[in-house]
């Protein structure tokens, strides 16, 4: 209703243009599909801006109250699933403002947009959404890391073959394998925490490009909304989407690790490997082959790692060679970010469930270790340490020993001391004498693991690593807790300020 009480029948947003936007064009340039997840955030941003306008004397108390009440109606409609997006709305900001004008009138509700633009509001909304999602992903990752650490301790003595180039390389343990991912995901925690610092700065009040002559207080709205500060330059505030690139880059690295784990487990679960049994609740069946147990969840994690990479590329290409200022080219970056987040969160949860419920065939792993030459590096190091050979000499000798063992279809430990002397004389011109016991000990898989104590897979080294990880994990948990507490305090101040007006 206007001041005169008449119903204003006009499109408030298209007076410059003749007629309505083409329906297909509206759908094509609109973002209301992904904006649905931003409704509450958009309302909150409008509330903060309204409170700031009142503080600055730009609107009166009764006007502030009417706008806040209209925004509350929008929020309640969202909760009931009744929030209306109309074809002409294009995006969430117009839809929310339409609510305010509908319930507060054009004369009062029309003041909501004073001193701001959709350009600064959209990036404010996306930054708030991104920080909320970063916190959620951080907590999911920390829970996963804790599970990996516990399982690493549980399986620290269980041998498994390690691979490079897809070939048997060295003896390791299940615990050491899991521990490696613990460290990797801990780095992802730090990347996301750094991204959070970039994300949690307020662009609100930058307006369309170069600020506004309205006497706004940007630091006040930033404080109400829980930002750590403001983006000082208005052109930078509305033009930049580097915070999305930074966040997506961290998400891509998370998915890359999950994809590598998925690839390992898919291979390890095959008959040819037989290292693990995948939990049934994370597998599917074949509609034709009744014997099949398909690792569909792992395959989708692997596929979605590629998808997140493409989403990052989309954002980079959308922002590449753009002039300074806001352009519609930036709108799809929001969709790419949302899609990546929707992939990463369930991927972490699902991989955690799979890892926690895996069955390991430790006997099969030992069998594979015994059947190949993964202790050859240990024998080479034994020669260096005990037989006065340079490493290259030792490498040459053990390479010949492996060749001989392969030809005779035997293990290294089955070679005779006499054969070793003959081969060493032939290729090195040195009489290397090694007893049967020395050969047995040098190629013993368990001793191989125990000898590699520093940063290696020995049970004691794993225990030391896990002990040093405890305070590191706690430190990250404390950091996340502090972030959440700061946001909670900001929310409480915000609510109190709002209640003072509405009461």
Same domain, 139 and 110: no
Q: Which residues lie closer than 8 Å to 295 by C-beta, 6 or more apart? A: 262, 265, 266, 269, 278, 282, 283
pLDDT at 140 over 80: yes
pTM: 0.93
Condensed to tens digits (0 to 9), the pLDDT of residues 377-420 reads 999 999 999 999 999 999 999 999 999 999 999 999 999 999 99
| Mean pLDDT, rounded, for 159-179 | 96
Same domain, 249 and 283: yes
Please indicate, yes or no, if residue 45 is contained in any of the structural domains.
yes
pLDDT at 3 over 60: no
Q: Which residues lie closer than 8 Å to 68 by C-beta, 6 or more apart? A: 47, 50, 51, 498, 501, 502
pLDDT at 470 over 90: yes
How does residue 87 score in pLDDT terms, banded at 50, 70 and 90? low
* Predicted local distance difference test score (pLDDT) of residue 6: 43
For the chain, the average pLDDT equals 94
Residue 105 region by backbone torsions, left for phi larger than 0, else alpha for psi between -120 and 50, else beta: left
Please indicate, yes or no, if residue 148 is contained in any of the structural domains.
yes
Considering only the C-alpha atoms of the chain, give the largest distance between any 2 of them, rounded to a whole number of Å.
111
Per-residue burial over 350-377, b if 16 or more Cβ lie within 10 Å, else e, is: bbbbbbeebebebeebbebbeebbbbbb
pLDDT at 29 over 90: no
pLDDT at 226 over 50: yes
CATH number, domain with residue 276: 1.20.200.10
Please indicate, yes or no, if residue 452 is contained in any of the structural domains.
no
Termini Cα distance of the chain: 23
Using CA atoms, how far apart are residues 357 and 313, in angstroms rounded to an integer? 34
Spatial CA neighbour of 162 closest among 404, 463, 368: 368
Cα three-residue angle 476-480-483, rounded to 5 degrees: 140
DSSP labels, 35-80: HGGGHHHHHHHHHHHHHHHHHTTSS-HHHHHHHHHHHHHHHHHHHT
Residue 294 CB: number of other CB atoms within 10 A?
Answer: 14
3-class SS at 114?
coil
Same domain, 346 and 421: no
pLDDT at 319 over 80: yes
Same domain, 169 and 314: yes
| Mean pLDDT, rounded, for 475-500 | 98
How does residue 171 score in pLDDT terms, banded at 50, 70 and 90? very high
Task: Please pick, among 165, 287, 435, 468, the residue that the annotation labels catalytic.
Answer: 165
Where does residue 1 rank: exposed (0-12), middle (13-18), buried (19+ CB within 10 A)?
middle
| Mean pLDDT, rounded, for 319-328 | 93
pLDDT at 162 over 80: yes
Select from 93, 114, 135 the last residue of a domain. Answer: 114
Select from 94, 114, 134 the last residue of a domain. Answer: 114
Distance (Å) of CA 173 to CA 155, 159, 238, 374: 7, 4, 51, 13
Using CA atoms, how far apart are residues 255 and 252, in angstroms rounded to an integer? 5
pLDDT at 127 over 60: yes
Same domain, 109 and 94: yes
pLDDT at 1 over 70: no
Please indicate, yes or no, if residue 3 is contained in any of the structural domains.
no
Task: Please pick, among 286, 310, 390, 489, the residue that the annotation labels catalytic.
Answer: 286
Same domain, 184 and 132: yes
pLDDT at 449 over 80: yes
How does residue 191 score in pLDDT terms, banded at 50, 70 and 90? very high
CATH number, domain with residue 400: 1.10.40.30
Please indicate, yes or no, if residue 316 is contained in any of the structural domains.
yes
Q: Which domain holds residue 70?
A: 23-114
Using CA atoms, how far apart are residues 335 and 341, in angstroms rounded to an integer? 10
The total number of structural domains that make up the chain: 3
Please indicate, yes or no, if residue 499 is contained in any of the structural domains.
no
* Predicted local distance difference test score (pLDDT) of residue 81: 93
Alpha helical stretches, state H, 286-390 = 296-319, 331-357, 362-371, 376-386
Condensed to tens digits (0 to 9), the pLDDT of residues 4-21 reads 344 334 466 777 888 888
Please indicate whether residue 165 is annotated as part of the active site.
yes
Please indicate whether residue 286 is annotated as part of the active site.
yes
Same domain, 220 and 304: yes
Same domain, 225 and 292: yes
Alpha helical stretches, state H, 200-295 = 218-224, 234-239, 242-268
Same domain, 152 and 290: yes
Please indicate, yes or no, if residue 16 is contained in any of the structural domains.
no
DSSP labels, 472-484: HHHHHHHHHHHHH
* Predicted local distance difference test score (pLDDT) of residue 453: 78
Same domain, 360 and 392: no
CB 351 within 8 A of CB 262: yes
* Helix, strand, coil percent content, the chain, rounded in steps of 5: 70, 5, 30
Spatial CA neighbour of 413 closest among 463, 454, 362, 375: 375
| Mean pLDDT, rounded, for 106-116 | 97
Same domain, 329 and 387: no
Spatial CA neighbour of 308 closest among 353, 245, 361: 245
Same domain, 419 and 271: no
Please indicate, yes or no, if residue 179 is contained in any of the structural domains.
yes
CB 238 within 8 A of CB 120: yes
* Predicted local distance difference test score (pLDDT) of residue 11: 66
Percent over 90 (pLDDT), the chain: 89
Using CA atoms, how far apart are residues 262 and 295, in angstroms rounded to an integer? 9
* Predicted local distance difference test score (pLDDT) of residue 7: 39
């Amino acid at each position: 209703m206007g001041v005169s009480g008449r119903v204003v029948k006009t499109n408030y947003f298209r007076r410059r243009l003749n007629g309505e936007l083409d329906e297909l064009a509206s759908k094509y340039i609109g973002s209301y599909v992904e904006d649905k997840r931003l409704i509450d955030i958009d309302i909150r941003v409008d509330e903060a801006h309204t409170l700031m306008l009142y503080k600055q004397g730009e609107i009166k108390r009764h006007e502030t109250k009417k706008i806040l009440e209209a925004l509350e109606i929008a929020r309640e409609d969202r909760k009931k699933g009744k929030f209306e997006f109309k074809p002409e709305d294009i995006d969430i900001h117009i839809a929310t403002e339409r609510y305010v004008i509908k319930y507060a009138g054009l004369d009062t509700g029309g003041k909501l947009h004073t001193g701001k633009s959709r350009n600064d509001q959209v990036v404010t909304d996306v930054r708030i959404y991104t920080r909320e999602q970063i916190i959620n992903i951080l907590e999911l990752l920390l829970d996963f890391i804790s599970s990996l650490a516990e399982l690493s301790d549980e399986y620290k003595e269980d041998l498994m073959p390690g691979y490079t180039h897809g070939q048997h390389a060295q003896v390791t343990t299940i615990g050491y394998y899991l521990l490696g991912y613990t460290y990797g995901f801990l780095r992802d925690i730090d990347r996301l925490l750094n991204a959070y610092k970039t994300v949690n700065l307020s662009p609100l009040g930058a307006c369309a490009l170069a600020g506004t002559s309205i006497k706004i207080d940007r630091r006040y709205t930033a404080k109400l909304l829980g930002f750590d500060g403001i983006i000082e330059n208005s052109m930078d505030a509305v033009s930049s989407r580097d915070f999305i690139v930074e966040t997506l880059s961290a998400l891509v690295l998370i998915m890359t690790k999950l994809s590598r784990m998925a690839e390992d487990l898919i291979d390890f679960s095959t008959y040819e490997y037989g290292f693990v049994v995948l939990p049934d609740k994370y597998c599917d069946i074949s509609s034709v082959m009744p014997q099949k147990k398909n690792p569909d969840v792992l395959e989708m994690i692997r596929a979605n790692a590629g998808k997140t990479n493409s989403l990052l590329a989309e954002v980079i290409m959308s922002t590449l060679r753009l002039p300074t200022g806001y352009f519609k080219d930036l709108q799809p970056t929001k969709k790419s970010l949302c899609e990546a987040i929707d992939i990463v969160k369930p991927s972490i949860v699902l991989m955690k469930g799979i890892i926690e419920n895996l069955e390991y065939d430790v006997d099969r792993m030992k069998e594979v270790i015994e059947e190949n030459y993964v202790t050859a590096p240990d024998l080479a190091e034994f020669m260096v340490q005990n037989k006065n050979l340079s490493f290259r000499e030792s490498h040459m000798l053990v390479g010949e020993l492996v060749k001989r063992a392969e030809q005779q279809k035997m293990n290294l430990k089955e070679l005779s001391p006499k054969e070793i002397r003959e081969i060493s004389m032939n290729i090195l011109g040195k009489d290397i004498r090694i007893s049967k016991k020395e050969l047995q000990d040098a190629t013993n898989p368990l001793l191989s693991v125990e000898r590699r104590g520093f940063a290696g897979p020995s049970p004691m080294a794993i225990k030391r690593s896990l002990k040093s990880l405890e305070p590191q994990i706690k430190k990250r948990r404390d950091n996340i807790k502090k972030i959440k507490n700061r946001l909670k305090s900001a929310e409480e101040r915000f609510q109190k300020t709002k209640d003072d007006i509405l009461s």
